[in-house]
C-alpha cells in the first residue's frame, strides 16, 4: 500500500461502536495511545473490522486545530 499521506500509524482495533449511519472505531497504537475515527457503517462492514484486527490510521489534513483552556 502506498499513500500520499505522511501520517500513517499502525495499530489494532480496540473497539467498534456501530451506529445507524456511522461507526466509531478506536485504534490502539503500539505505545498504548488511542486514535478515534468515525467512518461510514458501509466502510466498516467492507473492511470487516473487529477487535484485534491490525489496521492503519491514515491522517491527511490541511488543518490541525489546537486549543487551550
Residue 34, in any domain of the structure: yes
For residue 28, the surrounding DSSP H or E stretch is strand 22-29
Number of domains composing the chain: 1
- Domain annotation covers residue 66: no
Q: Give me the CATH number covering residue 11.
A: 2.40.50.100
Condensed to tens digits (0 to 9), the pLDDT of residues 12-42 reads 999 999 999 999 999 999 999 999 999 999 9
Q: Which domain holds residue 27?
A: 7-59
pTM of the full predicted structure? 0.83
Q: Which three cell numbers stand for residue 18?
A: 456501530
Q: For residue 2, is it within any domain?
A: no
Residue 64: CA count within 13 A, CB half-sphere: 4
Distance of CA 28 to the CA centre of its chain: 9
User: Does some domain include residue 68?
Assistant: no
pLDDT at residue 4 is higher than 90: no
Amino acid at each position: 500500500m502506498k499513500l500520499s499521506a505522511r501520517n500513517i500509524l499502525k495499530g489494532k482495533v480496540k473497539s467498534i461502536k456501530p451506529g445507524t449511519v456511522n461507526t466509531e472505531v478506536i485504534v490502539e497504537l503500539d505505545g498504548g495511545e488511542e486514535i478515534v475515527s468515525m467512518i461510514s457503517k458501509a466502510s466498516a462492514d467492507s473492511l470487516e473490522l473487529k477487535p484485534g484486527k491490525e489496521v492503519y490510521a491514515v491522517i491527511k489534513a490541511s488543518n490541525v486545530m489546537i486549543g487551550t483552556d
